Structure 1
Amino acid sequence: MAVRGTPSWLGNQNAAMALRLLLDHGPLSRNALGELSGLSKPTAAQMIARLEEKGLIEAVGEASAGRGPSAVLYGVRGDLAYGVAVNVDQDGVRSTLVDLRGSQFPVAAEAASGMTGQRSAARDVAGAVLSACGAAGVDLARVQHVCVGVPSSVDPRSDELSSVAALPGWSRKSIRQQLQRALGCDVQVDNDVNLAAVAERRAGAFEPDATFALLWVGYGIGLAVDVAGAVLHGASGGAGEIGNLPVPRGVLDPDADATDLEGLLGAAALDRIGREAGCGEHTFEEARAGTPLPARVLEVFAPRLAQSVIPVLGVIDPEAVVLGGPVGRSGGAALAELTRTAIRNHTRWNPNILPTRLAHNPVLAGAQAVLDGRLQESLVTQAGAATSDEDRSRIIAANLRGIG
């Protein structure tokens, strides 16, 4: 390692800054890099040379320089490292590759109904990584980071899931350790609603310093709170686990007999509302498939949903509450407005209730955003893997045989 303050150390610092500029701005010429960094042209040329020697950048084109010769444009190589975003839930497993350029790769999916054999966290996630690499045509050995979204909170202190009810065969204990041992690379595991909130932030509907809450309505109900771009996890990772909050009887819906929010708003409750409204037996499945919720269902469901929003307003007072998940998506603007009206008519609040802006795979989109940052930081800091690509390939292959 270079000693701090020496020319070698300073060269490494300049190279890291140059790489960050290339990641932030895209391909740049030597002159443009010098202008953005505030360093001299000779120093900018040295930064380019150092990054080329390390194999981190390449010439990607030319830019017209007026009357003079064209300037060479340099960009970060997109094939240096990859991540895999994974979402595991009641419906199955979905995964997609992530690279340094933000490329769009196919989403590999396996339905829960088709997942035969003994399931486990290692088997599900390793299979998802393999499927994502296969769909993208990328060597498994180049995967350095994996981000997994699950319908459970994750305690960062004990590396333990709060629940595996929706994850057949999974163990609650040492979840990140299990996956890192199986995959031989860095793994991050997070609550699926937290990751969806990351994607909502990236969708661009909020000011940088805004606070918003994402209320996820699906099989159950969950909450994520984003404060100026940081999602609150809580001391044990359980911030937003509101499904078991008790329901005050008769506040907005005197006919509701549920004892907690999940019973009031979950899949079974929505199906019951649909039957009573004469809309069929499978209202939740239709919402999950993207069918808009019928008006008769919305009229009953919105006051119930308002009961879950009111505590959020009282505790957090966010700029907006976003309705996400399959029910929030299928309810759309109509559900958002009916929920706001129910709150306004019964309380002092007049909140900003918004439908989600994300139509497809919001949890994967959030995991992709997390991986974008991890891949870039790894590259900037020149952080090398503990093992070589060949060694890691052998680790993954051996573990897959062991769990297969």
Structure 2
Amino acid sequence: MAVRGTPSWLGDQNAATALRLLLDHGPLSRNGIGELSGLSRPTAAQMIMRLEDKGLIEAVGKEAAGRGPQAAVYGVRNDLAYGVAINVDQEGVRSAVVDVVGTEHPTTCKAASGMPAQRSASRDVAGAVLDACGAAEVPLTAIQHICVGVPSSVDPRSDELSSVEALPGWSRKSICQQLKRALDCEVHVDNDVNLAAVAERDAGDYSPTGTFALLWAGYGIGLAVDIAGTVLRGASGGAGEIGNLPVPRGMTGPDLHADDLEGLLGAHALDRICREAGWGEDGFARVLAGERLPGRAAEIYAPRLAQSVIPVLGVIDPEVVVFGGPVGRAGGDRLAELTRRHLREHTRWDPTVRVSAVAGDAVLHGARTTLGLRLREALLARAAGSLPEQDQASVLADRLRSID
């Protein structure tokens, strides 16, 4: 590392500035970098030369000009480092490669029914990495970061999952350390609803200082709170685990035996509600298949959903309540409006309630966004000289293939 304040250090800082501009604006010429940075054209040329010497950028074309020679346009190399985003849930495992420039790589899917009986965290994640790299035609040696979304909270103090009920063969203990030792690269494991909230912030129209609460309705019920772009995780990682809250007094209906909100709103409860609404015996399966929740079922479900929102309003008072997960999206605007109406008529709150802006797999989207930021930070650190050049002779490929 260069000594702070020296010409070499200043050159690295300028190079990082140029790289940040290329990441934010896409390919630029020397003149473009000079104009955006406010630095002189000779300094911009030195910034480009430094980044080329570090192997971080490359010429990607020519800039159209009226007269004279065309100026070279430079872009960030997207083959320096990759990550793999993974979503593991009751349905199976989905994964996709992520690069620093946000290329849309293919998503691979492996259904739970087609997975081996002897599952484990390392086997599931290793298989997902192999599948994603194969689909994207990316070498395993380039994978430096992995982000895994799971239906469980993760205690940052003990590195322990709160539950592995939906993760056959997984151990609760030392989950990140397990995977790091097995795969020999950086691994981040996060709660699925927290990652869905990251995706919501990325896809939705929220002010930088805005606050929203994402209520996730699927197999169970979960919550994530985003405060000005930061997801509230809590000391034990368990912020938002509202499924264990007891059913409020005064709730009536066919689920009086439900002990907690998960029993009141989860998959089994939805099946009962759909039967009561005359929609058949397999309502939750139909929701997972992409069918819309019928109006009568939404009318029965909305007051229950409102009960799970009330504690959030009382403690956080978010600007927006967002419904996500398979049930939230299947209920759509109708479920959101019915829930808001119930809150307005029976409580002192009248929040904005809407459906998630994220299309597709929100958890995988959030993992991609998280990895994109990590890869960006690592690349900027390399430009600034605070991170050594990456050794591409990684043992990840051998490690992955040895996990059977």
1:94 maps onto 2:94 in alignment: yes
Match of 1:203 in 2: 203
3-state secondary structure, aligned to 2:378: helix
3-state secondary structure, aligned to 2:242: coil
3-state secondary structure, aligned to 2:225: strand
Match of 1:362 in 2: 362
Residues 82 and 99, structure 2, Cα contact 8 Å, conserved in 1:
yes
How many angstroms apart in 2 are the aligned matches of 1:102 and 1:270? 37
Q: Quick check: 77-86 or 31-40, which moved more?
A: 31-40
Residues 274 and 281, structure 1, Cα contact 8 Å, conserved in 2:
yes
How many angstroms apart in 2 are the aligned matches of 1:65 and 1:387? 37
Match of 1:21 in 2: 21
| Structure 1 residues 326 and 176: CA distance shift in structure 2, 3 A | same
How many angstroms apart in 2 are the aligned matches of 1:5 and 1:387? 25
TM (norm. structure 2) is 0.96
Q: Quick check: 32-41 or 171-180, which moved more?
A: 32-41
How many angstroms apart in 1 are the aligned matches of 2:342 and 2:216? 18
- Measured after TM superposition, the shift of residue 390 of structure 1 is 2.2
Mind listing any 5+ residue stretches in structure 1 that lack a counterpart?
none
Which of 367, 390, 394 does residue 393 from structure 2 map onto?
390
- In the TM superposition, 1:4-19 aligns within 5 A as 4-19=4-19
Mind listing any 5+ residue stretches in structure 2 that lack a counterpart?
none
Match of 2:216 in 1: 216
Match of 1:47 in 2: 47
How many angstroms apart in 2 are the aligned matches of 1:398 and 1:97? 18
Match of 1:167 in 2: 167
How many angstroms apart in 2 are the aligned matches of 1:325 and 1:341? 21
Match of 2:229 in 1: 229
How many angstroms apart in 2 are the aligned matches of 1:168 and 1:150? 12
Match of 1:240 in 2: 240
- Measured after TM superposition, the shift of residue 230 of structure 1 is 0.6
The code of the aligned residue for 1:388 comes to: D
Q: Output one character per residue of 1:357-382: Cα deviation in whole Å (capped at 9) or x when no partner.
A: 22311000000000110011100101
Q: Larger relative CO (CA 8 A, sep 6+): 1 or 2?
A: 2
1:141 maps onto 2:141 in alignment: yes
Please report the RMSD computed on the Cα atoms of aligned residues, expressed in angstroms. 1.4
The code of the aligned residue for 1:172 comes to: R
- Measured after TM superposition, the shift of residue 386 of structure 1 is 9.3
Match of 2:178 in 1: 178
The code of the aligned residue for 1:397 comes to: D
How many angstroms apart in 1 are the aligned matches of 2:2 and 2:103? 34
How many angstroms apart in 2 are the aligned matches of 1:43 and 1:392? 39
- Measured after TM superposition, the shift of residue 87 of structure 1 is 0.3
- In the TM superposition, 1:343-354 aligns within 5 A as 343-354=343-354
| Structure 1 residues 341 and 309: CA distance shift in structure 2, 3 A | same
- Measured after TM superposition, the shift of residue 385 of structure 1 is 7.4
How many angstroms apart in 1 are the aligned matches of 2:360 and 2:64? 40
- Measured after TM superposition, the shift of residue 36 of structure 1 is 1.5
How many angstroms apart in 1 are the aligned matches of 2:228 and 2:123? 36
Residues 179 and 187, structure 1, Cα contact 8 Å, conserved in 2:
yes
The code of the aligned residue for 2:146 comes to: V
Residues 249 and 256, structure 1, Cα contact 8 Å, conserved in 2:
no
- Measured after TM superposition, the shift of residue 169 of structure 1 is 0.5
How many angstroms apart in 1 are the aligned matches of 2:277 and 2:108? 37
Residues 250 and 256, structure 1, Cα contact 8 Å, conserved in 2:
no
Match of 1:114 in 2: 114
- Measured after TM superposition, the shift of residue 273 of structure 1 is 1.0
Match of 1:311 in 2: 311
3-state secondary structure, aligned to 1:95: strand
The code of the aligned residue for 2:398 comes to: A
Match of 2:84 in 1: 84
| Structure 1 residues 11 and 165: CA distance shift in structure 2, 3 A | same
3-state secondary structure, aligned to 1:389: coil
| Structure 1 residues 75 and 387: CA distance shift in structure 2, 3 A | closer
The code of the aligned residue for 1:310 comes to: I
How many angstroms apart in 2 are the aligned matches of 1:361 and 1:45? 42
Residues 154 and 190, structure 1, Cα contact 8 Å, conserved in 2:
yes
3-state secondary structure, aligned to 2:343: helix
How many angstroms apart in 1 are the aligned matches of 2:255 and 2:49? 69
Residues 196 and 363, structure 1, Cα contact 8 Å, conserved in 2:
yes
- Measured after TM superposition, the shift of residue 384 of structure 1 is 5.2
